[in-house]
Structure 1
């Protein structure tokens, strides 16, 4: 059982190790036994490090300065001015209007808060499903989820409380004293600060396997003075560990604060939770030993937080004693597994093996399904459209309306559909790794590597995934808790050489470097890695100057078997969010490209929608206009520029665009080697030799480098915009174009001296 001595030791910071300092900041107080993981060396220590209820504390650094910064986690709070009571009352039922947030009156506003990895977001998704929307908090790049829940007619919900509830899911945080923009947003949403409406109720999701830390967090939430309902998660794991929590006993110990046991993975307890929230709008008790916070300035709030820390620690220890929870440490299955996965010698190889499986899944498994959409489904839909047009007039299948439907709209829809397999597989793999508890461990294993860029270990996963496909790599940035890191990693992922670029590498490598084609392709991946590191250092010292490596401490959740229903629900919700956000942009741009290719630009080129030679269309005019820009890079030819324009939509179409522009047919069923060494390869050699004045091999390398570095595809741009906003997406595109152009020009000018 946790003793008063343990409590005082944790809260005063009188602990001999970094992890115990981290326990002060993260676990709030400790028990007598457990494990900790030091990410800098991936060492899994044995007995003696502080943790609670067998949930590990992991810290990234054990230097005195970092330990001191960890201890200051509970010493600072940077809120805006607390709204006056009148303004709170006025805003109490008003939704925030920013970005894509729903606008209008709602009857109640409920905010979900909790530590990371407690099932808060899973619970939110169970309640809201696909109706939830991911958006940026006002004035930030921090992602929050918001949805509206109709509680009319729900069992246990009185008419006075029923209606449309505005539900907000905030980023996970360990306290109301933020150390990152994400934690800042969570604290502001809970307190109703900085323009955010004051919530009508707070749902504090607590982890039953680490109740001590959760109770300290709850103390700060309760003292905000809003109605609070406790959603107790992971009680099944606590029961297997011998520390099951009695919800009724906990509620009595909290002097009547309602406690509802829930299982976010199955949805168990959600109906009771909704009914309990509805009955709490009138107010919930203030537990003995806590006090409501009434502050009117930042200074008063800071002082209140500092003065109240010891009291909250003592209160949490008292609750543990009242419910008779044993704090005695014991070796669990998670402890035994972590001795392998966090071992300094085995941790990194195991992590790389897991990443290899993720990489293979998003490329190898997705490939056949993408082909099915691109060939089979396209064929079915094309035949259907042809049949419909034939009903009106047989000649109609050759008109511009038919072309718009098949080559414009349908092509856009199929392009979007081809991203469903890799995105779905990536979401599935991420959900599996998250739910089983491994993803948190992976962050600490790779922390030392990523700290050179000002990032923590969690940033490694999205970048690795990006080498399979940039799109799921961007989706994987959702695992990063710091919004600044999320933006920076999002800008680095487009430089990861995805599998779609590989077809371009192979065709040009076989066309110009037959005997050493493999070396050239391997070199592209090496350049990609170097680019990511170089651009990362550049961004850290310019745009992200304030992004310094922080002491990295987080609780490691217990390992558990994922629930199939929860996995499917999570994948479908995330996949639908991607389709809803990216499809309109992709389809619109593809229709615009079709329109340009359908407008005749010269006399005798044909009619609208029936241009005989694409070079004689508006698309060809644009390609001709762009071509001179690439003269310093050695490929200032309209064939190359046209391929790069279509490559902005998807790199998969670059080779096909070249075949069309050279009027070469029958390449669809050929391998990249056959195309590179066949008629297409011959045309490429002639064209590049002509535009580079005899330095075709140097121009080919420059072209490959440009393909590597510039915008990977339109879907990636759409996802950047969806996650980070217009400015970040535009900045990423501009950065890619500038880097690609400089790289191509410098490479050609140097290589032509030796090639």
Structure 2
């Protein structure tokens, strides 16, 4: 199969290492399997999490790629491992499944992967084997990676991998990706299969007896029905119907041969917890409680570390940079302003939020690895159907609370085009982690004792906005669109592993650092240039007072629009303008502006907080708290960043992206004005 180069879909949030790309000409091995079968976890275990993600040429669907070494030492064979989108079958009902089918079977034989590793969930064996049955009908070298055997055991199901291998006629390897068990055996199986010629297509010809299916029979039928009839929806004649029936009969025969009951069949801890965690009343309450604990811990535990970094950058780092420039004769040049008042003040202030972001990523990774976050889709299913979206549309929205860009990309998993468009328009209203830096700065400055509660409240407002905007769009643009029940595989509850939590958290933190080292440095440089160009007075370049600069003049032209919201001061408006690039830039632009304007005060620890208090006090006419809350609401609702706009354009087109910008700005302004005006009357 020909190797294609892929580029990161989101430069601002792509945290994968460039060295993930395998050598050109390496044999390609594709991982295929259903969502939540452990496929991507296995991919990370095999490649060491050195993953490159990009859109496959000619599509908008992302494919993971990484180098996998079969063997060890100098004799190790390097292969290009592809993490294909999750698919329940080869009869596509979404762009993701369509790409998987196209890359595996709808291309000429010479362009197919040399080996296909089918990831099979032992706890849902019948459903997983349906995909294997379809793969066997093509000329493909196949290896089966059997995952979730521990979960199957807790459900009183024992899968005999040797019996399964005999029934399938394929190599079967038991793997535990989370603990990296069985990966060497899998590498050996793939290496052996690579040496064999591609087999002829194999049908489903086992002898089927009445009553087969045993204890797995119900699960097999449930898997078929749970996917809405992947096969039957696309079959057009009797022969195809008979082939589908033959596949399912074969699957049940294989399940009957390879499994047997074990244990006493008592309910598992997962079942007992889910009785409360997914209930209509207690489920949402538990979810809100978990999120409150996360944000409360984030703002309180990280505060001392944040203060220490603030003192470091505003003290020794600033003094050291000034001394170094003076030592080389550049102390009185424009470069001093760029380095000290621009890069150190702007980027340094953003880096003080590193403890906050790190702790939040760690806590969310713990919830994710424990299996709890998947329950959020269940407890919000009714809400999603209320706004005309299927329950699984909540999954991209959950991703949006980390970063809006991959969340919009995740909408392609929805089979209905109108569902994809509506979800992509709602994702920007989910509060991404970049906005957290602004929330924490203003909350700790104006409401230090309630900072955690304020941040938690912003995430609640985000959820309410998604619902209300979704209802409004459905009532105006898609009146006839209805939702559908949620059908999702819930992973079992399990003890988070330090390696997985650390790896996931580090990848997210690295994405934050890449933003600070890339987009924010560029934004800081542009702001410095705009603040260095005089439009009034007789000052020269880089000597102009901030209020006489091109930056201030541009912000002052826009400021009257925000006076009804209580934050019509040009320094605040200018930060919002820069925030179109990235929300983290709001913090860096403030630090940069006030460092240039009042270097004596803002260079001290806490100096920026004093400047912000004075600015909001003045612009709000003595009502700073309502003005701050209005500003936070505007930050939440208006356009997240240019990377999000690029993702929207790629997924739903320029016209719908422009519609989305109009909706976001309108909602943000109206809500900010309402919050300030009501808050001013109450205070």
Query: Residue 491 in 1 paired to residue 425 in 2?
Result: no
**Residue 264 of structure 1 corresponds to which residue in structure 2?**
177
Distance 1:664 1:381 in 2: 15
1:125 pairs, out of 44, 53, 57, with 44
Alpha-carbon displacement from aligned partner over 1:607-629 (angstroms, at most 9, x marks no partner): 43333x20122212322333455
Aligned pair 1:740/2:668, yes or no? yes
Q: 1:312 aligns with which of 244, 247, 251?
A: 247
2-structure distance, mates of 1:135, 1:547: 31
- 2:185, 2:378 → 1: CA distance? 37
Per the alignment, residue 56 of structure 1 pairs with none
Q: State the partner residue of 2:413.
A: 482
Partner of 1:382: 318
Q: Residue in 2 aligned with 1:622?
A: 554
d(CA) in 2 for partners of 1:194 and 1:734?
45
For 1:580 and 1:525, locate their aligned partners in 2 and report how far apart those are by CA, in whole Å.
Answer: 25
* CA spacing shift, 1:352–1:712, aligned 2, 3 Å: closer
Give the Cα separation in 2 of the matches to 1:345 and 1:558: 21
Q: Contact 1:118–1:233 (CA<8 Å) still a contact in 2?
A: yes
Are residues 1:563 and 2:501 paired?
A: no
Taking the aligned partners of 1:245 and 1:592, their CA distance within structure 2 comes to 61
SS in 2 for 1:576: helix
User: 1:109-508 maps to which residues of 2 (within 5 A)?
Assistant: 109-138=28-57, 141-149=60-68, 162-163=77-78, 165-192=79-106, 198-239=112-153, 243-255=157-169, 257-281=170-194, 282-284=197-199, 289=204, 306-326=241-261, 329-377=265-313, 379-393=315-329, 396-411=330-345, 413-414=347-348, 417-418=351-352, 420-455=354-389, 471=402, 482=413, 484=420, 487-494=424-431, 500-501=438-439
Is residue 243–residue 325 contact of structure 1 (8 Å, CA) maintained in 2?
Answer: yes
Counterpart of 1:49 in structure 2 is: none
2:363, 2:150 → 1: CA distance? Answer: 24
Q: Does 1:601 find its partner at 2:538?
A: no
In 1, distance between residues paired with 2:515 and 2:645?
Answer: 9
- Answer yes or no: is 1:550 the counterpart of 2:474: no
Structure 2: how far apart are the matches of 1:412 and 1:670? 14
Deviation at 1:212, TM superposition (A): 2.2
Distance 1:522 1:127 in 2: 37
Deviations 1:566-603 (A, max 9, x none): 22223323443554467422221121011211233334
Change (3 A) 1:357 1:494: closer
Structure-1 separation of matches of 2:444 and 2:555: 24
SS at match of 2:551: helix
1:587 aligned to 2:521?
Answer: yes
| Unaligned 5+ runs, structure 1 | 1-91, 292-297, 511-518, 689-695
Contact 2:349 2:588 in 1 (8 A): no
Residue pair 1:95, 1:197 contacting (<8 A) in 2 also: no
2:296 touches 2:456 (CA, 8 Å); kept in 1? no
Q: Post-superposition shift, 1:754?
A: 12
CA displacement at 1:124 relative to structure 2: 0.8
| SS in structure 1 of the partner of residue 251 of structure 2 | helix
CA distance in 1, matches of 2:336, 2:91: 60
State the TM-score, normalizing by the size of structure 1. Answer: 0.69
CA offsets 1:453-475 (integer angstroms, 9 cap, x no match): 23455666886898xxx655777
Correspondence list, 1:701-720, <5 A: 705=630, 708-710=633-635, 716-717=640-641, 720=644
Q: Offset of 1:115 from its aligned partner? A: 1.7
Q: Is the 8 A contact 1:495 1:528 kept in 2?
A: no
CA offsets 1:325-354 (integer angstroms, 9 cap, x no match): 338954333223333333444333222222
Per the TM alignment, residue 414 of structure 1 is displaced from its structure 2 partner at its CA by 3.4
Aligned residues: 627
Distance 2:108 2:469 in 1: 34
Deviation at 1:502, TM superposition (A): 6.8
Q: Which one of 610, 628, 649 corresponds to residue 543 of structure 2?
A: 610
The structure-2 alpha-carbon separation of the partners of 1:385 and 1:488, relative to structure 1 and needing over 3 Å to count, comes to same
In 1, the alpha carbon distance for the partners of 2:361 and 2:519 equals 21
Equivalent-residue separation in structure 2 for 1:673 and 1:565 (angstroms):
38
1:112: Cα distance to partner? 1.1
Q: Structure 2: give runs of 5+ residues left out of the alignment.
A: 10-17, 207-232, 415-419
Equivalent position SS for 2:261: coil
Matches within 5 A, 1:29-44: none
